[in-house]
Amino acid sequence: MKAFTHHTGRVVSMDRANVDTDQIIPKQFLKRIERTGFGEFLFWDWARNTDGTLNPEFELNQPQAKGASVLITRRNFGCGSSREHAPWALEDWGFRVIVAPSFADIFYNNCFKNGMLPIVLSEERVEVLFQRAAKYPNYSLTADLETRTLTDAHGLKLKFNVEDFRHHCLLHGLDDIGLTLEHEDKIAAYERTHGIAS
């Protein structure tokens, strides 16, 4: 998993609450067995018209969204089913940071396991970000995981909280397998003393 220390990226705003995982990556695209290639299907039902053409009104289809890597959105982002494909699709599209007042628990956990930083801020502070994104062209944010701060080029500085265990794992690029491999010497020693063939 890719480690996360700090990231500066252009912001795209999604002024929607309760965005569920079936909208993030619809069920018909879950047949792939790889973790990559899901970005092109991100928000498929919103991004496309009924005839399959791109919907120019959709947030991610607008010119200013191209190359954006920070998403700001409303409460309860990632609700619905627990599919890990949702953060896979967001990461594959190019997002590294998602800011919202709240996230569904499983989605929130899956973001960390896939190298993305979900940041929880109050609704009032998220509203400030929406206003700044509307005010400043090509608005960007910098998320510094080491100091747990979110800043912009216009004087904004916000602290955010990430629990210590998740903070450690994301800073060092450790998913569940990586955490296990940190104890590889102990595992090998156990296998030797218990006659387990490697």
Q: What is the mean pLDDT of the chain?
A: 91
For tokens 């109050």, name the residue: 122
CA nearest to 137, candidates 11, 47, 6 = 11
- 28-84 pLDDT tens trace: 888 877 788 899 999 999 999 999 899 999 999 999 899 999 999 999 999 998 889
Is the pLDDT assigned to residue 141 strictly greater than 80? yes
Asked if residue 85 belongs to a domain, the reply is yes
Instruction: Please indicate whether residue 131 or residue 27 has the higher confidence score (pLDDT).
Output: 131
Name the token pair of 63. Answer: 């010119």
CA nearest to 69, candidates 89, 107, 40, 97 = 97
Domain containing residue 115: CATH number: 3.20.19.10
Q: pLDDT-based confidence at 197, cuts 50/70/90? A: low
**Cα–Cα dist 129/119, whole Å:** 12
**Cα–Cα dist 59/46, whole Å:** 9
Beta-carbon-side half-sphere exposure of residue 173 (alpha carbons within 13 Å): 6
CA nearest to 60, candidates 16, 104, 7 = 16
Asked if residue 75 belongs to a domain, the reply is yes
Asked if residue 198 belongs to a domain, the reply is no
Give mean pLDDT, residues 117-146: 97
Q: Rounded to two decimals, what is the model's pTM?
A: 0.89
Is the pLDDT assigned to residue 164 strictly greater than 60? yes
Alpha-carbon distances of 47 from 11, 62, 66, 190, 197, rounded to whole Å: 18, 10, 14, 52, 52
In the chain, the number of structural domains is 1
Name the token pair of 82. Answer: 């627990």
Is the pLDDT assigned to residue 112 strictly greater than 60? yes
4, 118 in Cβ contact below 8 A?
A: no
Give mean pLDDT, residues 103-115: 94
Is the pLDDT assigned to residue 176 strictly greater than 80? no
DSSP 9-68: EEEEEE--SS-BHHHHS-GGGTT--SSSS-GGGTTHHHHB-TTS-B-TTSGGGSGGGTT-
Asked if residue 1 belongs to a domain, the reply is no
Q: pLDDT-based confidence at 183, cuts 50/70/90? A: low
Share of the chain above pLDDT 90, in %: 75
Is the pLDDT assigned to residue 21 strictly greater than 70? yes
Domain range holding 86? 6-193
